[in-house]
Amino acid sequence: MARRKKRAGVGARCSVLFKKLHPGNYVAEHYPNTSDQERLDGLIATRYEETERRGKRMKMMFFTHPDHEGIEFSSSYFIVVAEGPPKGFFEAAAPAAAPEDAPEPIDESVFDSMNTAEDIALRMILSREAKDGVWDGLDPRRTSGVQDHSPSFTDNWDPKKASKYDMFWRLFPYKWFRDVCFAKTQQAMIDEKLKPISLGEFIRFFGLILLMATVGAGFSQESFWQPYHERTNPCPYNLNHYMSRTRFKCIQRELRFTDCAKPAYVDCFWEVRQMVSEWNKNMAAVFNAAGWAICLDESMSIWTSRLTCPGWVFCPRKPWPFGNEYHSAWCALCGFDG
């Protein structure tokens, strides 16, 4: 059911686009460089009457504003945010329709919407009402030249037939991993006169990191190499069978992510920018997201201490709100987030 429009009257609190507010010279002087969509809120309606503007007679609403004593504003285009006392309603007054070149005002209730079935249904109703008598039958996605297609992987690769190991290396930039990350780490260990590392051992090292990342109980890194004990160390994995703690720490200490030179300016992310760039290039090369169903998504890379994490953020709406926030493209048809 459509909501009842708020009625204009003495004392009603209104909102008007700056470009539709008079006196124009006063508005331009006190609010310079406003955009077409910016509005002045907090206007209080005082009267509604016919007046002459540029040789034409028209109905206009007149307002006062607490920040502009002695100034009377006026406009034919306004939104009633809150009604005044019922006895002050203007029977003939209603928010005027915006001219053809002005955008339709947004229903104020949109900004209070929640992710509930009731609010979603209301948004759909308002969307249909906005299109009635306006839509020209042309899909703007089609007229913009964006092609629609189903999500797919290149070379007809099917993830349903692949192992998790194959899936990982299909999506992760292996060339960068081998030629940059592994090569630079290997060289760093040789420079420190440590035992050289093989590519297989390096892959195992990263596998252990990913395994530890799947345990969300907050175990310390050391606990993964200590004997299991129900009370003192309930960590479910013991990694001594795969790599000693000393060897793991040696590789971790010499780990390198880039072969680019350190920039002359301050950039806390310079060591990982190459990795992020190679990830994006690889995803663009191996995966074709749905043409008309791509959404901007946000992903959190978990990190609990703000003192050891450049760019650390706290995002309360996320299931895990601490760490780095990354923007990614999400395919709405297959649920793939890259």
Residue-wise pLDDT for 265-287, tens only, equals 888 889 999 999 999 999 989 98
Q: What is the mean pLDDT of residues 321-333?
A: 86
Contacts of 24 (CB under 8 A, 6+ apart): none
Strand ranges for 151-206 from DSSP E:
152-153
Is 144 a residue whose pLDDT tops 60?
A: yes
pLDDT band per the 50, 70, 90 thresholds, residue 177: very high
The model's pLDDT over 64-96, given as tens digits with 9 standing for 90+, comes to 999 999 999 999 888 888 888 888 787 655 555
Report helix angle 183-191 to 245-253, nearest 10. Answer: 100
Domain residue spans of the chain = 13-103, 106-135, 136-151+289-338
pLDDT confidence band for 124 (50 / 70 / 90): low
CA distance 204 to 155: 28
Residue 140 has pLDDT above 70, yes or no: no
Q: Is pTM beyond 0.75 here?
A: no
What integer pLDDT is reported at residue 294 of this predicted model?
Answer: 81
Q: What distance in Å separates the CA atoms of residue 139 and residue 135, rounded to the nearest whole number? A: 9
- Predicted confidence (pLDDT) at residue 1 exceeds the cutoff of 50: no
Is the preceding peptide bond at 310 cis, omega within 30 degrees of 0?
A: no
Over range 289-296, report the average pLDDT.
77
First to last CA, the chain: 39
